[in-house]
Structure 1
Amino acid sequence: MNDAEPVTEAEPITGERLRRPAVARSVTLGATKVSYVPDGAVQLVPHRWLPDTGDEVWSAHPEYLDGTGHLVAGIGGLLVERDGRALLIDAGFGPQAVPAAPGNPHGALHGGALLDSLAALGRAPEDIEAVAFTHLHIDHIGWAWQPAPGTTGPAFGRAALLVSESEWSRRHLLRAHGTDEKILAALAPRVRTVADGQEIFPGVRARLMPGHTPGHLAYVVESGGRRLIAFGDALHSPIQVTHPEWSAASDHDPEQSAGFRHRLVTELGEPGTIGFGIHFADVVFGTVRRDGGRAVWHPLDD
């Protein structure tokens, strides 16, 4: 498992990083350290995942596609550490794999590496005081409900599970995305709902950003005069930074989601602001800059 790679200045998107899942990377904001914790990856069928695109878009942007013609999306979590304490934002897919199926907007999907990735960052599951979910799709909650290897309970059994009130109250809508009653029942005893703007950890506030799901949250991490916005599935690919009007096939409310994306991209371009895109291939940390009037994702380089 790769050690976390420290991140420094921004660079244009180049090379293979757009076409591979992310390795562990870390950013320091004042007294707070944030680290991407890899769990697995999923292949996305580009014109199905982003239905407003067509072959002409991807012919013009082959840099986003792997050798099989898919968008590559990493799956994992974001570890937030401060003053000896630890919070995890999202919990990967867990120790399972799903093969590609004809007609689906996504291809093969697998997880399983998150606990090893966490150990490589010097943390054990019992160190995590809370797992804060951006939303309750199955690729974000896996290790919170599935038994950890060699045990009968979930890996983060001691942690509170933080979910927006509007996500939890409308959780029945998630069944269409694989989050069934069995999964919800496993989560329920430890779920604690949080409100828009609530501080959930020192320097970390929840921000309601619905559209992908009814109660989708972003998390804003502030320390040392800088901030990081972990925006979950508001954006799935860096190409949406330039085209925030493109909603994903899995968005609950595409119009609402697009509206939040437009505002998010503007905010990510403000001074002292870093973005974290959990599915952004190997460019998960970055900033937004203007290039010829267009917003462009610039990954942080190590």
Structure 2
Amino acid sequence: MTTPQLDADAAYAGPAPRHSERLCRPSGIRSLQLGDTKVTYVPDGAVQLTPRGWLPDTTDDTWAGHPEYLDETGNLAAGIGGLLVERGERALLIDAGFGPQSLPAEPGNAHGAIHGGALLDNLAAVGRAPQDIEAVAFTHLHIDHLGWAWHPAPGTDRRVFSRADYLVAEPEWAQRQLLQAHGTTGDMLEALAPHVRTVTDGQEIFPGLRVRFVPGHTPGHAAYVLSVGGQRLIAFGDAMHSPIQVAHPEWSAAPDHDRARAADFRRRLIAELAEPGTVGFGIHFADVVFGQVRQGENGRPVWQPVDTWPGSAA
């Protein structure tokens, strides 16, 4: 795969022509190298998010002024997948996509059509088999993050990640019954349960990778912070769903469990992502999943896509 190159330190005042088309399509496979650790977005599928339904504090004027975020159907294009973290022979996956299933758009839903199924093929494309994964670390237990962890391997009754522990933040697992209102069924949780290992705030789960509790989207939502040699990547899960929220952290998503706490974390997260040597990973961020926060022309922070780690070789 050929990865397009961008100047990671260039000033970015908004969606310039060179990458505005990326804001309205899901991402393909994208990788960054941080020291001896490689991180790769592994797509599973995509979901359409209705702009006013998903971000209910926005208006028609908001989207009339920012059509670059909308696909040809008028929805926000959001990817679904996982983040592969590799160091030498070791491999961990953050989130597990939607799995081999599709759901159509339904009137009244904040999301439109959603589909998955590509994660295993894309893992193979980057040279990894499911049995290579030593752990699957979940940001939270919504269905678009659990898919391949509870679905059996195609054509079998066995689980896909046969060697993996399932790492879940302690408060998320303790309050898992609250997630059934968002489609996470008892059968899904029962399939996960024998393999779940709960993790604590600040715990290191892989070399250089630590858990950070960030409740708001769900009661026990977690981010994962990878630190190597004074640089770091923050995989922030569903703390944000679209790059437009970087300029508007007050805009919470419709399914956020605690909208005030979610907004408070976004403000702190955006400040961190503006710090030197820090890159963010937004799993649903269209085709700009890796990025930094920079100041835009209007003084508001904006998301600058990053395709090579700042200061590192391509």
- Shorter-chain TM-score: which interval? over 0.9
Which residue of 2 is the match for residue 187 of structure 1?
192
Question: Residues 4, 208 of structure 1: CA spacing in aligned structure 2 closer, same or farther, 3 A cutoff?
Answer: farther
Among candidates 299, 303, 307, match of residue 293 of structure 1 = 299
**SS state of the match for residue 5, structure 1?**
coil
Among candidates 258, 263, 266, match of residue 258 of structure 1 = 263
Q: Does 1:38 align with 2:38?
A: no
Q: Provide TM-score, normalisation by structure 2.
A: 0.93
Among candidates 7, 12, 15, match of residue 9 of structure 1 = 7
Contact (CA 8 Å) 1:4, 1:121: kept in 2 or not? Answer: no
Question: Residues 243, 43 of structure 1: CA spacing in aligned structure 2 closer, same or farther, 3 A cutoff?
Answer: same
Aligned equivalents of 2:212, 2:25: Cα separation in 1: 29
Which residue of 2 is the match for residue 205 of structure 1?
210
Which residue of 1 is the match for residue 222 of structure 2?
217
**SS state of the match for residue 76, structure 1?**
strand
**SS state of the match for residue 168, structure 2?**
strand
Which residue of 2 is the match for residue 94 of structure 1?
99
Which residue type is aligned with residue 266 of structure 2? R
Which residue type is aligned with residue 87 of structure 1? L
Q: Which runs of 5+ in 2 are unaligned?
A: 309-314
Which residue of 2 is the match for residue 115 of structure 1?
120
Aligned equivalents of 1:165, 1:187: Cα separation in 2: 14
Q: Provide TM-score, normalisation by structure 1.
A: 0.97
Which residue of 1 is the match for residue 237 of structure 2?
232
Q: CA-to-partner distance for each residue in 1:86-129, whole Å, 9 max, x for gaps?
A: 00000000000000000100000000000000001100000000
Which residue of 1 is the match for residue 25 of structure 2?
20
Q: Does 1:155 align with 2:160?
A: yes
Percent sequence identity is 69
Question: Residues 169, 36 of structure 1: CA spacing in aligned structure 2 closer, same or farther, 3 A cutoff?
Answer: same
**SS state of the match for residue 162, structure 2?**
coil
Aligned equivalents of 1:155, 1:7: Cα separation in 2: 34
**SS state of the match for residue 28, structure 1?**
strand
Equivalenced residue count is 300
Which residue of 1 is the match for residue 312 of structure 2?
none
Structure 1 residue 4, shift from structure 2 partner: 7.1
Q: Which runs of 5+ in 1 are unaligned?
A: none
Structure 1 residue 6, shift from structure 2 partner: 7.2
Which has the higher mean CA deviation after the structures are superposed, 219-228 or 278-287? 219-228
Aligned equivalents of 2:3, 2:105: Cα separation in 1: 31
Structure 1 residue 221, shift from structure 2 partner: 0.6
Which residue of 1 is the match for residue 311 of structure 2?
none
Q: CA-to-partner distance for each residue in 1:183-230, whole Å, 9 max, x for gaps?
A: 000000000000000000000000000000000000001113210000
Aligned equivalents of 1:4, 1:170: Cα separation in 2: 43
User: Runs of at least 4 residues of structure 1 off by over 4 A?
Assistant: none
Aligned equivalents of 2:115, 2:7: Cα separation in 1: 31
Among candidates 224, 229, 254, match of residue 249 of structure 1 = 254
Which residue of 2 is the match for residue 174 of structure 1?
179
Which residue type is aligned with residue 284 of structure 2? H
Q: Does 1:52 align with 2:50?
A: no
Q: CA-to-partner distance for each residue in 1:278-299, whole Å, 9 max, x for gaps?
A: 0000000000001242110000
